[in-house]
Structures are given as C-alpha cells and as structure tokens.
Chain A
Amino acid sequence: MTSQPKAPLTSRDRRRNRAVAVTGLVTVWVLLWGTFSWANVISGLVVAAVLLVVFPLPPVTFAGRIRPVPLLRFLVRFLRDLVVASVQVAWLAVRPGEPHSAIIAVRLRVNTDLNLTLTAEALSLVPGSLIVEADRRTGTLYVHVIGIRGLDEVERFRHGVRELEARIVAAVGSAEERDRIRHDEAEPSGSAELEGAPT
C-alpha cells in the first residue's frame, strides 16, 4: 500500500499479533483433536510455532480493542441478517420471474485492511449482497445486490452497509475510528460521492 502511510508496527504490536495468531492456531488444533489435554496443547504450540516460522502472516494493524457488548450486538444482528438473507434468496429462487439486481459502490469511512475485510465478509453473508470488487485506495466496496426493485432501495441499501460498518467499528475499532464514524453521522457528508481523492 503506497498511498496510505501506515505506522510501522512496534515490537510490542508484533508480539501481540504473534500471540493472537498462536492462540488461534492452538485453539483450532485442540478443537480438531476434540479433547483438551496437555499433550494436545503442547503439540499445538509446536505446530503453531512451525507454521508461523514457515508461513509468516502479513502484518495486520489492529489498532482497536474488542468491546464485548457491541460485539454481541453485532453478532446477534448478524445472525438475524443471515436468516433474513437466506429466506429472501430462497424465496427469490422459487418465485416466478427473474430477480433484478444492482452493483452499488459504498465508500467506507474507516479505510483499514481489517475493517474492509470484516465488512466485506459480513456483507457477503447478509441480505442480498455480494462483493464484486474492493478498492483499497479509496476504501470502497462494490456490492452486487440481488432482489432490488428501484433506485430508492439502492440508497436504503447503501445506508444499511454503512450501519453495518458502524457496528463493526463499534465492536473492534479504535477510539479514533469510532470518533470518525460518530462525527460522520452527526453531519453526513453525502455517501454517494465517490470521485474524491482518497482520504
């Protein structure tokens, strides 16, 4: 990423990233074996260490911290959306006629790899949307939406994506990122403008 100056990771950040990666890998290893025993944990640690040495992970800047209550709110809403989306697509499948769709650009307010990835992942699973393309330079997601009928629904959907982003940032974002969302919601800067220079 050339256009976006990224603060170099301090050795403390890097240690934390490695600790998170090792914890995740060991958890998966223990779940695969299915029983919690010291032998599993220790062999998991060995496997995780080898993996991290052989396949070093690309650096992810995780500036925020995890907040349990907004995270729970995000998860509950996510599950609800997943059910609604599935029923909606299932209904479109059996209903007569061909479904209309649209490709919509949504400029996210927080342009970090983590936020872009999480929003795109969540978005692909919730009502009628699928990521076609992501523009990292401007932090824009291009979303294919199915079952849409008119331009007013396009705007409603764009608004929905930005709400989803706000929920994700509230759950895992940094204080500075939360401020940016709050500031933006106080005085909306016109979500449709896309031609502007990357911030």
Chain B
Amino acid sequence: MTPDEILDTVAGICLVAGALLCVAAGIALVRFPDVLSRMHAAAKPQVLGLLLVLLGCALRLRTGVDITTLVLVGLFQLATAPVAAHMVGRTAYPHDDIRRDLLITDELAGHIDRIRADRAGEPEETSPVRTA
C-alpha cells in the first residue's frame, strides 16, 4: 500500500465513524425523554462526530488552505457547543416538561431562586456585550 492509500483508508474510517456518531446523536434527539437529556445528544456524539468528519476531510484533502479552515471549524465547535447546550438547559429548567420521575436527585431545586435573584441583582454581569 502506498502512503496515499493508507491516508485515504484512515480518512474513510474517520468519515464513516463520524457519520455513525452523528446518526446516533440524531436517534438520541428523537428518543431521549426530556430537553435536558436531549442536549447531551447535541453536545457530545455530535461534536466528536463532526471532529472525525473534519479529520477525515483533512486527511483526504491534504492542502494547507483547507486544513486551516477545518481546524477553525473544529475549534469553534468545541468552544460553542457546550455554551449552546448550557443556554438551552438553563432556559429549560425549571419546567414541567422535565421528567422528574427519571431524576435520581435534584440538588438545584433548593437553590434556583437564590441564584436567579443574585443574577437579577447584577444585570450588567449577564449582558453579553459590555461597553467600556
């Protein structure tokens, strides 16, 4: 096998594995019982799936210009996916749609009012853009 063929094979494996993880994430989105569980599906298998697809593309393309773009896509995905999942989770809690019967323990319930009150008291801390 020439080095090119080996790289192509590895790229193929990465692409298929990444696609499978994305499928699993999709299945989880449909099957999981409530919003919070579904955000797990969006935050993890999907991120690794995308990273594997990017790695596969990088191994197949092998040109500097493309690889730098792929690296950026991966980095921003790693940085933003948890934030997006957190924002959705925070909005969803507390809500009737959360399946409390499936929760083994909920240590947030007793604190949520105080935390939200704290935050309301310092509105400038939560605004995304701060002016100097």
Contacts and interface: CB of A to CB of B under 8 A. Distances in A.
Interface of A: 1-2, 28, 30-35, 55-56, 58, 82-83, 85-87, 89-90, 92-94, 98-105, 120-121, 123-125, 128, 130-133, 135-137, 140, 142, 144, 146, 148-151, 154, 194
A32 B37 contact: no
Contacts, number: 162
B104 A130 contact: no
A151 B105 CA distance: 8
B28 A125 contact: no
Contact size range, B: 35 or more
6 contacts: A89-B28, A102-B104, A121-B82, A124-B82, A125-B47, A131-B82
Given A103-B103, A130-B89, A93 B31 contact: yes
B24 A31 contact: no
Contacts of B108: 103, 105, 132-133, 142
B112 interface: yes
**B contact face: mostly helix, strand, loop, or mixed:** helix
Given A102-B106, A130-B89, A94 B129 contact: no
Interface of B: 20-21, 24-25, 27-28, 31-33, 36-37, 39-41, 43-45, 47-49, 64-66, 68-69, 71-72, 78-79, 81-83, 85-86, 89-90, 93, 99, 102-109, 111-112, 115, 118, 122, 125, 129-132
A124 B43 contact: yes
B113 to A, nearest CB: 11
